[in-house]
Amino acid sequence: MKILIVLAHPEMQSMNGAMFKQGIKTLEEEGHEVKVSDLYREEFNPVSGRRNFKTTYDAAFFKQQLEEIHATDTAGFADDIETEQQKVEWCDLMIWQFPIWWFTVPAILKGWVDRVFAMGRFYGSERCYEEGVFKGKKAILSLTVGANENAYLKNGLHGDLYGVLKPIHRGMLKFTGFDVLRPHVIYAPVRQTVVQRELELARWEERLKHIFTEHSIDVDIY
């Protein structure tokens, strides 16, 4: 199968960096084809604007969605955006590897979505949710959080983690048609021992070996 791993962490020696490298190693050893988008190392620019496009629909007034539709019709996306879009279109499974920052994805990953998930190309004309462009593809969030698991329960300090992730699960992934898998979460890795972190990597490795047998979750029940 074909897998895209998108990494959004500035430090490769972090737990996210280790999970990213473990993911590539495991999936390739299982015979899968892997492509990556390492947003910090590639210095991906998350800021949208006319730089997204080679073409222009309206030079007097910038409305991104109209420019996206026009670029879809005229092969007008900038090269860096076209490259990322083709990776998403290519894959059978997309993995986002990131830390939760301020109860959402890091800005560089949100900006990647803003620029890459273009109207006309990835959604539009009633192509969303069950009829989304990426119907039949799978997506999973692999993430770290700073607090322990009890803090992310329904009555915990930060509230139910699935509630925190719902705008991502539903508003970004399910909206464009992906089947969303149960998120893979590592709680407070900074407070774990070396042995505990190694066990977490082994848990990720074992899950990835069977990832294509997993069923999607219902993103609407949270």
Q: Give the pLDDT confidence of 56-70 residue by residue, as tens digits.
A: 999 999 999 999 999
Residues whose CB is less than 8 angstroms from the CB of residue 110 and which lie 6 or more positions away in sequence, other chains included: 46, 104
| CATH code for the domain in which residue 167 is found | 3.40.50.360
Judge whether residue 21 has pLDDT over 90: yes
Average pLDDT of the segment spanning 16-40: 98
Query: 221 lies in a domain?
Result: no
Lowest mean pLDDT among 16-20, 63-67, 192-196: 192-196
Residue 154 contacts residue 160 (beta carbons within 8 Å):
yes
Q: Hey, which residues are catalytic here?
A: 146, 152, 158
**Residue in 171, 75, 85 with CA at minimum distance from that of residue 122:** 85
**Residue in 87, 82, 37 with CA at minimum distance from that of residue 55:** 82
Query: 84 lies in a domain?
Result: yes
Average pLDDT of the segment spanning 19-30: 98
Convert the pLDDT of each residue in 133-166 to its tens digit.
999 999 999 999 988 888 898 888 988 999 999 9
Average pLDDT of the segment spanning 3-23: 98
**Residue in 163, 166, 164 with CA at minimum distance from that of residue 175:** 166
Q: 222: pLDDT confidence band, cut at 50, 70 and 90?
A: low
Query: 46 lies in a domain?
Result: yes
Q: What φ, ψ does residue 45 adopt, rounded to 5°?
A: -85, 115
∠ CA(5), CA(173), CA(161), 5° rounding? 90
Average pLDDT of the segment spanning 23-49: 98
Query: 56 lies in a domain?
Result: yes
Residue 142 contacts residue 180 (beta carbons within 8 Å):
no
Query: 218 lies in a domain?
Result: no
pLDDT of residue 147: 85
Query: 219 lies in a domain?
Result: no
Convert the pLDDT of each residue in 65-120 to its tens digit.
999 999 999 999 999 999 999 999 999 999 999 999 999 999 999 999 999 999 99
Query: 37 lies in a domain?
Result: yes
Long-range CB pairs of 120-123, under 8 A, 24+ apart, other chains included: 120/65, 120/68, 120/69, 120/70, 120/71, 120/72, 120/73, 121/68, 121/71, 121/72, 121/77, 121/85, 122/85, 122/88, 122/176, 123/175, 123/176
The range of the structural domain enclosing residue 143 comes to: 2-213
Domain count, the chain: 1
159 token code pair: 């509230």
Query: 220 lies in a domain?
Result: no
